[in-house]
Amino acid sequence: MHPGLILAIDQGTTNTKALLVEWSGEPVFRTTSAVTLIHTAQGYVEQDPKQLWDSVQRVIAECTVYASRRGNSIKAIAISNQRETALAWDATTGEPLANAISWQCARSTEICQRLSAHTDTMRAKTGLPLATLITAGKWAWLLEHDAGVQAHARAGTLHLGTVDSWLIHRLTGGSVHATDRSNASRTGLLSLEQLTWDTGLLNLFEIPAASMPELRSSSGHFGVCSSIAELAGVPILAAIGDSHAAMFGHGQYTRGTVKATYGTGSSLMAPTPTLAEDTPLLARTVAWSIADHTQFALEGNIAMTGSAVQWVGEFLQLADPAREAAALASTVSDTNGVYFVPAMVGLGAPYWDAQAHGTITGLGRSHTAAHLARAAIEAIAYQVADVFFAMEEAGHVAFLALHADGGATRNHALMQFQADILGRQVLLPANDELSALGASRLAGLALGWWGSLDEIAALPCTTETFVPTMRAADRDRHYTGWKAAIKRTMLRAEACV
């Protein structure tokens, strides 16, 4: 037996979560700390890097107290994180130079438009569209608009990174500036064929190569903790983007499987035997890297899923917006023909329309707030279905089921509607904190707790199954209505250009 524990930290958009995981692969303790999004007058979306770090310190404190009381030592730290969010800090002092630019923020629209002639090159090299989602455009914006960032770039004291890099830098007392290849593959600067930072793209975005973090495997050594006394000397043995970590946590590593992570936004990911051919509908990405092996995947990103329910709750001026909107939605059995396309920050996969804005269609005199709330819930399932079907087409594969994780999976009405719209089973794991769990299992590989992916796949993973019950004719009618709403949204976007 291994008496120690792995501390897995999942730093997300609205919460920082932490798990303590034992050798059986099961979590024995969990905690969470809320973080906030800053919406500026210019329509930008930001976060305070210090608040992110403070939230990590809070969950670590609770975990170390629990481990001490139980008489266990923490053997390793694992990190999963919100992706594409861009940070910049002073390499010497470790102080942030600006607020973090959220992955949701579209302030780099003008930069993407300016570089639009390089769209095909970007996608061919990095697997990503030239869109406001990618981190490169956010760093480029900081370098163009923030005097402090510019000064540090000139002085050679600028560190750029995603959230994992920021936390690693803080945990190691500033001694390590590194990222893993899964996070790097979401920046728009990683060559998928070479698995290195692409010099041409760095130059294109005018990002100094010296400011970029070192590339490492998702399971491996990222330094030791020196900034928190209770964790002094504990190694950081895993770092991985949250969606990638969730897929790893499902224990499904073969072609023909697909997972969806339901959060503020959502991500679908399906492993591919090799780097897939270029496709304009979906992203190609590094799923994770272990030693000399890199696992690739197809991915589709959706900007607003859980946040769409939150928006409706705020629009309706509910005291607890997301929770009360979901409760309101449960009071009606359907939307009575209302469709809500939550394209408030554009449409992601498989449409990639940055000009799109949110639309509500099908409203009649008899509709109520409950129908709008229900439409927001169903919009999550429709958007996931769009990516699911596009992924089947691009991957030349038929998925038998959808593996689901994330906070919204607790809404069983949503999960049932998801199964009905897909016409496939939806499988839920016993533990819905799959990102933290997946990161812990990568750290366990580095510790030697488990010797192979087969051993991890064999760990217990009890699932709850939702079986489609909707008639095919009703499924087609609902989905046809959604596609019509999408078409109206995109036509409206074209008319506004």
Q: What is the mean pLDDT of each run of 10 residues along the chain (497 residues)?
A: 85 94 92 94 95 97 95 95 96 96 92 94 93 94 97 97 98 97 97 96 97 97 95 97 91 86 89 88 94 92 90 94 93 95 89 88 94 96 96 89 89 95 93 89 94 86 88 96 93 57
Distance, in Å, from the CA atom of 287 to the CA atom of 275, rounded to the nearest integer, reads: 10
3-class state of residue 34 by DSSP? strand
pTM across the whole model? 0.88
- For the chain, the domains span 5-242
Residue ranges of E strands in 22-172? 27-34, 38-39, 45-47, 74-81, 87-90, 100-101, 158-161
* pLDDT of amino acid 495: 53
Distance, in Å, from the CA atom of 149 to the CA atom of 140, rounded to the nearest integer, reads: 10
CB-based contact 427:464 (threshold 8 Å): yes
* pLDDT of amino acid 493: 53
Query: Domain 5-242 is in which class?
Result: alpha beta
Measure the N-to-C terminal CA separation of the chain; round to a whole number of Å.
Answer: 63
Distance, in Å, from the CA atom of 45 to the CA atom of 212, rounded to the nearest integer, reads: 23
Backbone angles phi, psi at 132, to 5 degrees: -65, -15
As a whole number of angstroms, the longest Cα–Cα distance in the chain is 65
CB-based contact 112:272 (threshold 8 Å): no
CB-based contact 226:232 (threshold 8 Å): yes
* pLDDT of amino acid 2: 55
Distance, in Å, from the CA atom of 55 to the CA atom of 70, rounded to the nearest integer, reads: 23
Closest CA to 218 of 176, 194, 248: 248
What single-letter amino acid sits at 136? A
Distance, in Å, from the CA atom of 432 to the CA atom of 408, rounded to the nearest integer, reads: 9
